[in-house]
Amino acid sequence: MSVRLAHLLSIALIGACLATPALAKTHHPKAKAGASTAAKSSLIWRGDVATANGVVDEVAKAWEKTGHGRIELQPFNTASGIDAVANGTADLAGSARAADDSAQNAQLTFTPVAWDALVIITQSSNPISNLTLKQVHDIYYGKIHNWSEVGGRNAPIDVYAVASPGDGVEYSLRSLLFGRGNQPVAAPRLYVNTRKLEEGVALNPNGFGVSTLTSISGNPKLKAIPLNGKAATVANIADGSYPLFTPLYLVTNPRSPKAAQAQAFIDFMQTEPAKAALRKHAVLPYQDGSALASMDDARRGRILAEVGARAVRHTPVSAPGATYAARAAIAPTSPDTLAARQAVEQRHADAQEAARLNKVHGSVADVSVSSVEHANGSATTIDRSGGKDFGQVSAHARQATTTYKVAKGDTLSSIAKRHSVEVAKLREWNHLKNDQIKLGQVLRIDNN
């Protein structure tokens, strides 16, 4: 699937979901408010499911009880909400991430209104009782594939993620674990939003994904796995001992005709009725966790040091490297994950050599692709370019002669499959009489 096709599919899914009456919830004011007042005061909110459930739904009821009018809720995902506020089809958006450096976000106002927890979820029947942040990092990175590697049962870890690169929950988690929010991960199972992801994990005892404490509270089919020995609770969020605390934001457009009304709703978030509504959903009002903001830089530094990552220059979620589809990530349950990464690194080195011979233009990390079909394998978790793209090999790079060094466990058949060539061709190009190969042997894997 090309990136363009994936983007169009995402837009189609968003349009279809937003057109479905069941997704939109409208809170109506009491009759005394009057039809004209309600129409004048009505606001449209659109955004991620977590913010809808934990923040806006209950607070909107309190808002209406005070006679402010009605709020129409259109929960879907962060990207759809931000786009809607930017183009004027919504007055407020909910986001589980801060603004990025994109031109669109620079025109909007992101106001933190609550604190929630990013939680790593699995089905309730899964016996796993704790993960370290390093283990979570390595699962998403494709280094850990089986629950037995982290103290669980002998079963594959089925990693789920939200397809939209701008999803607030996914973006915030990857920013904490990888130093950049648009880090691609080894997750072959993709969903349109966190609600659908939760439904998928609830059906699979081997499922693994990220959501928020607010979103899964009260769901007996899911559990939040404690991290570094700390459970995700409101108390542990408040004192900063649970490492993955995160702000929830309301997004507004200063140029909107209803900017003043939208700001009035944000101001209402600081009132006692609104705070009481937040606490009903295991959400910490932003003012109650004011100390967490001052902890953030140190917290991020500790996490990156623990997982062995480093922060990189912030990249907008709209950047090419942020877009990925199911085929752009090697399944974490695949035994070829590490070998494929080795092959990518080998091609990277070969392409650099080819560049010196003027056979390609630029390094592999600088070559963008329009489709994962143009690449042999994926460098989904390899980044040597400082954050822009995640370095998949383009058709231009394949014009150069490519070689592969035989690694432990390789067979001629597995190498052929990995590089999408026929075994017979490998024999022909390398003058092999049979399928026997030796550790360290360098094989030619194309006929250029």
CATH number where 437 lies = 3.10.350.10
Structure tokens belonging to residue 290: 């004011």
In a domain, 220, yes or no: yes
User: What's the pLDDT at 41?
Assistant: 60
Strands (E), 205-255: 207-212, 222-224, 245-252
User: What's the pLDDT at 447?
Assistant: 58
Task: List 189's β-bridge partners, or say none.
Answer: 160
Domain hosting residue 347, numbered range: 335-444
Q: Which residue carries 């089986």 as its tokens?
A: 146
Instruction: Report yes or no: 121 and 223 within 8 Å, Cβ to Cβ.
Output: yes
The three-class DSSP label of residue 320 is helix
Distance, in Å, from the CA atom of 365 to the CA atom of 352, rounded to the nearest integer, reads: 10
Range list of H helices, 68-167: 78-87, 103-106, 133-141
Query: What's 242's DSSP letter?
Result: S
Instruction: Report yes or no: 47 and 30 within 8 Å, Cβ to Cβ.
Output: no
pLDDT digits (tens, 9 = 90+) for 58-112: 899 889 888 888 899 998 888 889 999 999 999 999 998 888 878 888 899 999 9
Strands (E), 242-311: 245-252, 284-285
Same domain, 231 and 258: no
Closest CA to 427 of 413, 440, 408: 413
Same domain, 55 and 133: no
Same domain, 278 and 406: no
Same domain, 157 and 275: no
- Spell out the SS3 assignment of 52-78: HHHHHHHHHHHHHHCCCCCEEEEEECH
Distance, in Å, from the CA atom of 260 to the CA atom of 297, rounded to the nearest integer, reads: 32
Instruction: Report which residue type is found at 428.
Output: E
Task: List 190's β-bridge partners, or say none.
Answer: 161
pLDDT digits (tens, 9 = 90+) for 322-340: 322 222 333 333 333 344 4
Please name the residues in contact with 214: beta carbons below 8 A apart, sequence gap of 6 or more. 50, 53, 54, 55, 116, 281, 282, 283
The three-class DSSP label of residue 321 is helix
User: What's the pLDDT at 11?
Assistant: 41
Number of C-beta neighbours around residue 40 at 10 A: 11
User: For position 159, which CATH number holds?
Assistant: 3.40.190.10
User: What's the pLDDT at 346?
Assistant: 52
The three-class DSSP label of residue 155 is coil
Same domain, 270 and 208: no
Distance, in Å, from the CA atom of 83 to the CA atom of 15, rounded to the nearest integer, reads: 12
The DSSP bridge pattern shows strands 71-76 and 43-48 to be parallel
Instruction: Report yes or no: 416 and 423 within 8 Å, Cβ to Cβ.
Output: yes
Same domain, 318 and 258: no
Same domain, 305 and 345: no
Closest CA to 292 of 61, 116, 159: 116
Same domain, 108 and 152: no
User: What's the pLDDT at 50?
Assistant: 74
Distance of CA 50 to the CA centre of its chain: 14
Please name the residues in contact with 436: beta carbons below 8 A apart, sequence gap of 6 or more. 412
In a domain, 327, yes or no: no
Instruction: Report yes or no: 188 and 159 within 8 Å, Cβ to Cβ.
Output: yes
User: What's the pLDDT at 33?
Assistant: 39
In a domain, 131, yes or no: yes
Number of domains in the chain: 3
Same domain, 12 and 106: yes
Number of C-beta neighbours around residue 210 at 10 A: 28
Same domain, 424 and 374: yes
In a domain, 330, yes or no: no
What is the greatest pairwise CA distance in the chain? 89
Same domain, 315 and 410: no
pLDDT, one tens digit for every residue, the chain (448 residues): 443 344 434 444 444 444 333 344 444 433 343 333 434 468 999 988 877 877 888 899 889 888 888 899 998 888 889 999 999 999 999 998 888 878 888 899 999 999 999 999 999 999 999 999 999 999 999 999 999 999 999 999 999 999 876 789 999 999 999 999 889 899 988 998 899 999 999 999 999 999 999 899 889 999 999 999 999 999 999 999 999 999 999 999 999 999 999 999 999 999 999 999 888 887 899 999 989 999 999 999 999 999 998 877 554 443 333 322 222 333 333 333 344 445 444 544 544 444 444 433 332 223 232 332 332 222 233 233 333 333 332 333 333 347 888 887 788 878 877 777 887 888 888 888 787 888 888 888 875 5
In a domain, 233, yes or no: yes
In a domain, 283, yes or no: yes
Same domain, 349 and 305: no
User: What's the pLDDT at 448?
Assistant: 52
Closest CA to 138 of 104, 171, 177: 177
Terminal-residue alpha carbon distance, the chain: 27
In a domain, 329, yes or no: no
Please give the torsion angle defined by the CA atoms of residues 43, 48, 49 and 53, in that order, rounded to the nearest 10 degrees: -50
